[in-house]
Amino acid sequence: MDLAGKTILITGASSGFGAAAALAFARTGCHLVLGARRVTRLNEVAAAAREAGARSVQFHSLDVASTRSVESFTAWARDFHPTLDVLINNAGGALGLDPVALGRDEDWEGMVQSNFLGLLRMTRAVLPLLPQHAGAWVLNVGSIAGHTAYEGGAAYCGVKAAERSVTQALRLELSGSGIRVGSLDPGLAETEFSLVRFKGDAVRAAKVYEGVRPLTPVDVAEAMVWMVSRPPHVCVDELVLKPTDQAAIHKVYRRPPATPG
């Protein structure tokens, strides 16, 4: 499907996959609507997206953890674009890596609010703006963590498993509407994800990617563009994208550090 002139809404567009997606979709000549909490960062992404060829770029603060924020964001977007073609539910991330025995309520609640309830809220708000039988999309960002759990990931793996369920249920609910619903489930990718998970501990965050060649935000953004640009009769239900170095969630090949001399 030619995306020129289509309108794409991306949540979590201030960094990582969302920011890279804004640039990748901009190159198709689409209109962009971007949301996240850090508006200064959105402003920078919007400027780069205009430069890259977006037909128009609008951005506004959005906290998917708040129904009021989601509704006012959607009302604001509707003033520019009475209809949207693609919703990319990307906002989210992990908070902490504690075992359940040491888990913190604020981390669990934060992950449920952004990854799970945020996805539901955004989708409910945007569905009335998606035209039927016109190739529209709801593309959710899941994770391999939603397929296989790991120690310390109970809540994060849980919300990403919930994302798969929401994706599947929504596809059933929209059967016959022509609106496509799919999930893009990446593995290890270097973004601000680990910095956020470890609450600003850059040394601990860097160790996650030590010796590995992870996915880049561009790899993930290109996969999004590919999924969304399939012809309207084709729905990519679920796409798992992993670095070659990650044979499975627990099986990550790490090169030894180079020895001096």
The CB-of-126 to ligand 8X3 minimum distance in angstroms stands at: 23
DSSP per position, the chain = ---TT-EEEEESTTSHHHHHHHHHHHTTT-EEEEEES-HHHHHHHHHHHHHHT-SEEEEEE--TT-HHHHHHHHHHHHHH-SS-SEEEE----------GGG--HHHHHHHIIIIIIHHHHHHHHHGGGSPTTS--EEEEE--GGGTS--TT-HHHHHHHHHHHHHHHHHHHHTTTTT-EEEEEEE-SB-SSHHHHHTTT-HHHHHHHTTT---B-HHHHHHHHHHHHTS-TT----EEEE--TTEEETTEE--PPPPPP-
The answer to the question of residue 64 lying near ligand NDP (CB under 6 A) is: yes
Q: What is the footprint of ligand 8X3 within residues 219-238 (CB under 6 A)?
A: none
Identify which of residues 2 and 210 has a Cβ nearer to ligand 8X3 in the complex: 210
Catalytic residue among 6, 160, 251, 253: 160
Residue 249 contacts which entry, ligand NDP, ligand 8X3, none (Cβ below 5-8 A, type-dependent): ligand 8X3
Q: Give the interface segment with ligand NDP, choosing from 15-23, 75-83, 242-250, 251-259 (CB under 6 A).
A: 15-23
253 is catalytic: no
User: Number of residues in contact with ligand NDP, rule: CB under 6 A?
Assistant: 32
The answer to the question of residue 145 lying near ligand 8X3 (CB under 6 A) is: yes
Contact residues toward ligand 8X3 (CB under 6 A) are 143-145, 153, 187-188, 249
Q: Give me the active site residues, please.
A: 156, 160
